Homo-oligomer: A and B are copies of this chain.
Amino acid sequence: MRKAFFLTRAEENYIKTIFHLGGNETQLISTNSIAEEMETKPSSVTDMAKRLARKGLVNYVRYQGVTLTEKGKKTALSIVRKHRLWEVFLVKKLDFNWDEVHEVAEQLEHIKSEKLIDKIDELLDFPKYDPHGDPIPTKSGEFQERDKQLLSELPIMAKGVCVGVKDTSSSFLQYLDKNNIALGHSIQILEREDFDDSIEIAIDGRRLHISNQIASNLYVKQHD
Protein backbone atom coordinates (compact mmCIF):
# COMPACT_ATOMS: atom_id res chain seq x y z
CA MET A 1 0.00 0.00 0.00
CA ARG A 2 1.25 3.48 -0.88
CA LYS A 3 1.77 6.20 1.69
CA ALA A 4 -1.23 8.39 2.55
CA PHE A 5 -1.44 11.34 0.21
CA PHE A 6 -1.10 14.68 1.91
CA LEU A 7 0.01 18.17 0.98
CA THR A 8 1.94 20.70 2.98
CA ARG A 9 0.55 24.17 3.44
CA ALA A 10 3.07 25.59 0.95
CA GLU A 11 2.11 23.02 -1.66
CA GLU A 12 -1.57 23.83 -1.23
CA ASN A 13 -0.88 27.54 -1.63
CA TYR A 14 1.04 26.98 -4.86
CA ILE A 15 -1.75 24.81 -6.29
CA LYS A 16 -4.32 27.44 -5.43
CA THR A 17 -2.27 30.23 -7.03
CA ILE A 18 -1.72 28.24 -10.22
CA PHE A 19 -5.47 27.65 -10.36
CA HIS A 20 -6.24 31.35 -9.93
CA LEU A 21 -3.75 32.20 -12.68
CA GLY A 22 -5.63 29.97 -15.09
CA GLY A 23 -3.57 26.80 -14.82
CA ASN A 24 -6.76 24.77 -15.11
CA GLU A 25 -6.91 25.70 -18.79
CA THR A 26 -4.49 24.53 -21.47
CA GLN A 27 -2.08 27.44 -21.25
CA LEU A 28 1.16 27.06 -19.34
CA ILE A 29 1.62 29.30 -16.31
CA SER A 30 5.10 30.80 -16.06
CA THR A 31 7.26 30.56 -12.97
CA ASN A 32 7.64 34.33 -13.03
CA SER A 33 3.91 34.99 -12.86
CA ILE A 34 3.53 32.55 -9.97
CA ALA A 35 6.44 34.16 -8.16
CA GLU A 36 4.95 37.60 -8.61
CA GLU A 37 1.51 36.54 -7.42
CA MET A 38 2.93 34.80 -4.35
CA GLU A 39 5.50 37.46 -3.58
CA THR A 40 8.30 34.96 -3.73
CA LYS A 41 11.30 34.34 -6.01
CA PRO A 42 11.21 32.53 -9.37
CA SER A 43 13.90 30.10 -8.20
CA SER A 44 11.67 29.02 -5.32
CA VAL A 45 8.84 28.43 -7.75
CA THR A 46 11.03 26.23 -9.96
CA ASP A 47 11.87 24.13 -6.94
CA MET A 48 8.24 23.73 -5.97
CA ALA A 49 7.17 23.04 -9.57
CA LYS A 50 9.44 20.00 -9.57
CA ARG A 51 8.07 18.79 -6.25
CA LEU A 52 4.47 19.21 -7.38
CA ALA A 53 5.24 17.43 -10.64
CA ARG A 54 6.77 14.54 -8.73
CA LYS A 55 3.54 14.32 -6.72
CA GLY A 56 1.48 14.32 -9.88
CA LEU A 57 -0.30 17.62 -9.27
CA VAL A 58 1.13 19.66 -12.14
CA ASN A 59 2.61 19.12 -15.56
CA TYR A 60 5.92 20.91 -15.58
CA VAL A 61 7.79 21.74 -18.78
CA ARG A 62 11.24 23.12 -18.15
CA TYR A 63 11.59 26.76 -19.24
CA GLN A 64 7.91 26.79 -20.22
CA GLY A 65 5.72 26.65 -17.13
CA VAL A 66 3.11 24.47 -15.45
CA THR A 67 -0.52 23.41 -15.79
CA LEU A 68 -2.61 21.53 -13.27
CA THR A 69 -3.22 17.83 -13.76
CA GLU A 70 -6.69 16.42 -13.06
CA LYS A 71 -5.54 15.63 -9.54
CA GLY A 72 -4.20 19.17 -9.23
CA LYS A 73 -7.49 20.68 -10.37
CA LYS A 74 -9.45 18.61 -7.88
CA THR A 75 -7.10 19.72 -5.14
CA ALA A 76 -7.37 23.37 -6.14
CA LEU A 77 -11.16 23.25 -6.17
CA SER A 78 -11.20 21.68 -2.74
CA ILE A 79 -9.04 24.47 -1.32
CA VAL A 80 -11.04 27.21 -3.02
CA ARG A 81 -14.21 25.61 -1.70
CA LYS A 82 -12.89 25.67 1.86
CA HIS A 83 -11.65 29.24 1.56
CA ARG A 84 -14.97 30.57 0.34
CA LEU A 85 -17.11 28.55 2.73
CA TRP A 86 -15.06 29.83 5.66
CA GLU A 87 -15.51 33.39 4.37
CA VAL A 88 -19.27 32.91 4.34
CA PHE A 89 -19.13 31.43 7.83
CA LEU A 90 -17.19 34.38 9.18
CA VAL A 91 -19.64 36.89 7.70
CA LYS A 92 -22.91 35.08 8.37
CA LYS A 93 -22.22 33.45 11.71
CA LEU A 94 -19.56 35.61 13.33
CA ASP A 95 -20.47 39.06 12.03
CA PHE A 96 -17.17 39.72 10.31
CA ASN A 97 -17.29 42.43 7.68
CA TRP A 98 -16.53 41.30 4.12
CA ASP A 99 -13.28 43.22 4.16
CA GLU A 100 -11.80 41.30 7.10
CA VAL A 101 -12.41 37.67 6.18
CA HIS A 102 -9.69 36.93 3.64
CA GLU A 103 -6.67 36.70 5.94
CA VAL A 104 -8.40 34.36 8.36
CA ALA A 105 -9.79 32.21 5.53
CA GLU A 106 -6.24 31.90 4.20
CA GLN A 107 -5.45 30.01 7.39
CA LEU A 108 -8.71 28.10 7.78
CA GLU A 109 -8.61 26.73 4.22
CA HIS A 110 -5.73 24.44 5.26
CA ILE A 111 -7.57 22.66 8.08
CA LYS A 112 -7.73 18.99 7.18
CA SER A 113 -11.10 17.46 7.98
CA GLU A 114 -13.67 16.56 5.39
CA LYS A 115 -16.37 16.28 8.00
CA LEU A 116 -15.63 19.77 9.30
CA ILE A 117 -16.07 21.54 5.98
CA ASP A 118 -19.16 19.52 5.07
CA LYS A 119 -20.76 20.46 8.39
CA ILE A 120 -19.88 24.11 7.89
CA ASP A 121 -21.45 23.89 4.42
CA GLU A 122 -24.59 22.41 5.97
CA LEU A 123 -24.70 24.98 8.78
CA LEU A 124 -24.62 27.72 6.14
CA ASP A 125 -27.34 25.98 4.12
CA PHE A 126 -25.07 25.19 1.16
CA PRO A 127 -24.30 28.71 -0.10
CA LYS A 128 -23.51 29.15 -3.80
CA TYR A 129 -21.45 32.33 -3.50
CA ASP A 130 -18.93 33.78 -1.08
CA PRO A 131 -19.21 37.31 0.42
CA HIS A 132 -17.45 38.79 -2.62
CA GLY A 133 -19.75 37.12 -5.10
CA ASP A 134 -17.33 34.36 -6.10
CA PRO A 135 -18.88 30.94 -6.75
CA ILE A 136 -18.27 28.10 -4.29
CA PRO A 137 -17.35 24.74 -5.82
CA THR A 138 -19.58 21.89 -4.68
CA LYS A 139 -18.28 18.95 -2.66
CA SER A 140 -18.08 16.94 -5.86
CA GLY A 141 -16.02 19.65 -7.56
CA GLU A 142 -18.61 21.31 -9.79
CA PHE A 143 -17.73 24.90 -10.36
CA GLN A 144 -19.28 27.48 -12.59
CA GLU A 145 -18.29 31.09 -13.07
CA ARG A 146 -21.31 33.35 -12.89
CA ASP A 147 -22.29 35.22 -16.00
CA LYS A 148 -21.33 38.80 -15.19
CA GLN A 149 -19.62 41.90 -16.57
CA LEU A 150 -17.82 44.91 -15.24
CA LEU A 151 -20.02 47.88 -14.41
CA SER A 152 -17.64 49.99 -16.52
CA GLU A 153 -18.64 47.98 -19.59
CA LEU A 154 -22.38 48.38 -19.19
CA PRO A 155 -24.01 50.62 -21.87
CA ILE A 156 -25.72 53.88 -20.93
CA MET A 157 -29.17 53.55 -19.37
CA ALA A 158 -28.70 49.79 -18.95
CA LYS A 159 -29.56 48.27 -15.59
CA GLY A 160 -27.72 45.56 -13.71
CA VAL A 161 -27.66 43.93 -10.32
CA CYS A 162 -24.42 44.06 -8.41
CA VAL A 163 -23.06 40.49 -8.15
CA GLY A 164 -19.41 40.70 -7.25
CA VAL A 165 -16.16 42.59 -6.80
CA LYS A 166 -12.93 42.22 -8.73
CA ASP A 167 -10.69 44.03 -6.27
CA THR A 168 -11.17 42.61 -2.76
CA SER A 169 -8.83 44.96 -0.94
CA SER A 170 -10.03 46.40 2.33
CA SER A 171 -9.86 49.94 1.03
CA PHE A 172 -12.10 49.18 -1.95
CA LEU A 173 -14.63 47.22 0.08
CA GLN A 174 -14.74 49.95 2.70
CA TYR A 175 -15.36 52.52 -0.02
CA LEU A 176 -18.35 50.48 -1.16
CA ASP A 177 -19.63 50.20 2.43
CA LYS A 178 -19.31 53.93 2.92
CA ASN A 179 -21.32 54.59 -0.23
CA ASN A 180 -23.88 51.92 0.52
CA ILE A 181 -23.07 49.78 -2.46
CA ALA A 182 -23.56 46.11 -1.71
CA LEU A 183 -24.14 42.85 -3.57
CA GLY A 184 -27.76 42.49 -4.64
CA HIS A 185 -28.31 46.19 -5.26
CA SER A 186 -29.66 47.26 -8.62
CA ILE A 187 -27.68 49.86 -10.54
CA GLN A 188 -28.52 51.92 -13.61
CA ILE A 189 -25.99 53.92 -15.61
CA LEU A 190 -27.33 57.43 -16.18
CA GLU A 191 -24.43 59.17 -17.92
CA ARG A 192 -20.81 58.57 -18.77
CA GLU A 193 -18.25 61.38 -18.74
CA ASP A 194 -16.10 61.11 -21.85
CA PHE A 195 -13.13 62.88 -20.30
CA ASP A 196 -12.36 60.39 -17.52
CA ASP A 197 -14.92 57.62 -18.06
CA SER A 198 -16.48 58.33 -14.70
CA ILE A 199 -20.20 57.53 -14.51
CA GLU A 200 -23.35 58.77 -12.88
CA ILE A 201 -25.42 55.91 -11.50
CA ALA A 202 -28.77 55.37 -9.86
CA ILE A 203 -28.67 52.94 -6.96
CA ASP A 204 -31.33 52.42 -4.30
CA GLY A 205 -33.15 55.54 -5.52
CA ARG A 206 -29.99 57.57 -4.87
CA ARG A 207 -27.75 59.18 -7.50
CA LEU A 208 -24.04 58.66 -7.20
CA HIS A 209 -21.01 59.69 -9.22
CA ILE A 210 -18.23 57.11 -9.34
CA SER A 211 -14.83 56.98 -11.01
CA ASN A 212 -13.89 54.52 -13.72
CA GLN A 213 -11.53 52.86 -11.28
CA ILE A 214 -14.48 51.95 -9.08
CA ALA A 215 -16.70 50.95 -11.97
CA SER A 216 -14.09 48.64 -13.40
CA ASN A 217 -13.86 46.69 -10.15
CA LEU A 218 -17.57 46.03 -9.68
CA TYR A 219 -19.30 43.12 -11.39
CA VAL A 220 -22.94 43.37 -12.43
CA LYS A 221 -25.39 41.10 -14.18
CA GLN A 222 -27.40 43.02 -16.72
CA HIS A 223 -31.18 42.84 -16.59
CA ASP A 224 -34.06 44.85 -18.05
CB–CB B111/A94 < 8 A:
no
* Chain B, residue nearest A108 (CB): B111
**Interface residues of A, count at CB 8 A:** 18
**Min C-beta distance of A11 to chain B, whole Å:** 16
One of A43-51, A72-80, A112-120, A127-135 at the interface: A112-120
B residues less than 8 Å from A116 (CB atoms): 90, 94, 104
A27 at the interface (CB under 8 A from B): no
Contact with B along A86-120 (1 / 0, CB 8 A): 00001001111000100110011001110110011
A104 and B108 contacting across the interface, CB-CB below 8 Å: no
- Flag whether A123 is at the interface (Cβ < 8 A): yes
Counted per complex, copies of this chain come to 2
CB nearest to A94 among chain B residues: B119
Of B90, B103, B123, the residue contacting A94 (CB under 8 A) is: B123
Contact (A96, B108) CB under 8 Å given A103-B113, A113-B103: no
Residues of B within 8 A of A113 (CB): 103-104, 107
Set of chain B residues within 8 Å of A90, measured between Cβ atoms: 116
Chain B nearest CB from A111 CB (Å) reads 5
Question: Does A104 lie within 8 Å of B96, measured CB to CB?
Answer: no
Nearest-CB residue, chain B, relative to A110? B107
B96 and A115 form a contact (CB under 8 A): yes
A119–B90 Cα gap in the complex (Å)?
A: 9
Interchain residue pairs A-B with the least CB separation, the first 4: A94-B119, A104-B113, A107-B111, A104-B116
Contact surface of A with B, Cβ cutoff 8 Å: 90, 93-96, 100, 103-104, 107-108, 111-113, 115-116, 119-120, 123
Task: Jot down 20 A-B pairs with beta carbons below 8 A, ordered by A.
Answer: A90-B116, A93-B123, A94-B116, A94-B119, A94-B120, A94-B123, A95-B119, A96-B115, A96-B119, A100-B115, A103-B113, A104-B111, A104-B113, A104-B115, A104-B116, A107-B111, A107-B112, A107-B113, A108-B111, A111-B111
